[in-house]
Amino acid sequence: MNFGLTEEQQMVKDQVTRFAETQIKPIAAELDKTHRHPEEICRKLGEMGIMGVAIPTEYGGAGMDIVTYVLAMIAISKACASTGVIVSVNNSLYGFPVNSFGTDEQKKRYLTPVAGGKVEGCYALTEAGAGSDAAALACRAVLKGDKYIVNGTKRFITNGNVARYCVLAATADPALAYKGVLNLIVDLKETKGFSVGKIEEKMGILASGTAELVFEDAEVPAANLLGKPGQGFKQMMMGLDCGRIGIGSQACGIGKAALEDALNYAKERVQFGKPISSFQAVQFKLADMATELEAAELLLLRAAWMEDKGLDYEKESAMAKMYASDVAMKAAIEGVQIFGGYGYCKEYPAERHMRDAKICQIYEGTNEIQRMVIARKLLGAR
């Protein structure tokens, strides 16, 4: 068992960490305050290969592995959780299905610019009545000649307000349930009948746009179907497995930021004539935070390693996402507690970490759904 990184993995980790600390972290509070999409950061990360870490070089990516993706995601999310989820969606929810199920022509046209960081991608799954129940889609895609006619509304779509391309989950017929699900690649800028609806006002990850996508008799070329009819639900589930590694890594990065800030503050804050880091109550909080976050990172790296090896990693990705997001939320709460009253004020980043951490327990499958996935695998159920 080797816990060491390869020379390439260590190099990328160091490079991304330096970039995140010097270019992203200094503007994270401003991005949070203004809700501004960090376009200039995304373009630079694209030049570094981080918007398509594991995508082959012929399709605009860096051609590296998922372990490297985890390392990069943790470093970026530690600096800014909003930037982290933008990177995650590009790599996982959009990049994975197009790379895994797209034709060579589809990948050259629709994956290359996203993996290269020139534009953003998104994945439109969630609807008002379909979230955890991913097969209950109401968005219809009806084949007419050489086009699909799409009608429906998607909710809570990360990058939806800025994305150029979208993998759209729809149904050919709601009566078919999961057998009717299909995925279409949509050029959002060139599709008549498409519009961006409501932009959500959220608790956290405020520099990451979360939008409503509206399709009204929108025409999508039949050639943009991923795979074959009837394969959409399986594609969706496999994409979510990959996406959970990304969101777990985002959570781990947020937790590490909360720990680092709390640790530094505890050394500086003096009460009763000595730093609060000398008090056992604070030391125990820091020790628990550090231990749980390191365990989360190991779970993430194991799931990533299994994906790289082509193994079944559904259970492991669910475990990693669930655990990482739970301990990140705990670390963020404890971070605020260590900061005391200052932790509740925007002068310090502790309150931002707490707001950002919560969503990681919800999106990419709630942690209740993750527990169902884990239990199903343990019990051998389908």
**CATH architecture designation of domain 7-120:** Orthogonal Bundle (1.10)
Helix runs in the chain, H state only: 7-19, 28-34, 39-47, 66-79, 81-88, 95-101, 104-106, 112-115, 232-268, 280-308, 314-339, 350-358, 367-379
Return d(Cα 97, Cα 150) in angstroms, integer. Answer: 20
Return d(Cα 92, Cα 69) in angstroms, integer. Answer: 10
DSSP assignment letter at 203: S
| pTM metric for this prediction | 0.96
- pLDDT at site 169: 96
Return d(Cα 70, Cα 231) in angstroms, integer. Answer: 28
pLDDT in tens, 10-55: 999 999 999 999 999 999 999 999 999 999 999 999 999 999 999 9
Q: H-helix or E-strand containing 63? A: none
Query: 233-379: what CATH class?
Result: mainly alpha
Domain edges within the chain = 7-120, 122-229, 233-379
- pLDDT at site 131: 80
Burial of 131 (0-12, 13-18, 19+ CB in 10 A): middle
134: pLDDT strictly greater than 80: no
pLDDT in tens, 285-336: 999 999 999 999 999 999 999 999 999 999 999 999 999 999 999 999 999 9
The number of C-alpha atoms within 13 Å of 364 and in the hemisphere containing its C-beta is 34
Confidence of residue 382 (pLDDT cuts 50, 70, 90): low
pLDDT in tens, 192-226: 999 999 999 999 999 999 999 999 999 999 999 99
Return d(Cα 61, Cα 51) in angstroms, integer. Answer: 7
122-229 in CATH: which number?
Answer: 2.40.110.10
Q: What is the mean pLDDT of the chain?
A: 97
**Both ends of the chain: CA-CA distance in Å?**
31
- pLDDT at site 1: 77
The number of C-alpha atoms within 13 Å of 1 and in the hemisphere containing its C-beta is 3
- pLDDT at site 135: 80
Return d(Cα 115, Cα 76) in angstroms, integer. Answer: 17
Would the CATH topology of 122-229 be identical to that of 233-379? no
- Both tokens of 21, joined, read 């600390």
Q: H-helix or E-strand containing 198? A: strand 194-199
Q: Which residues are catalytic?
A: 364
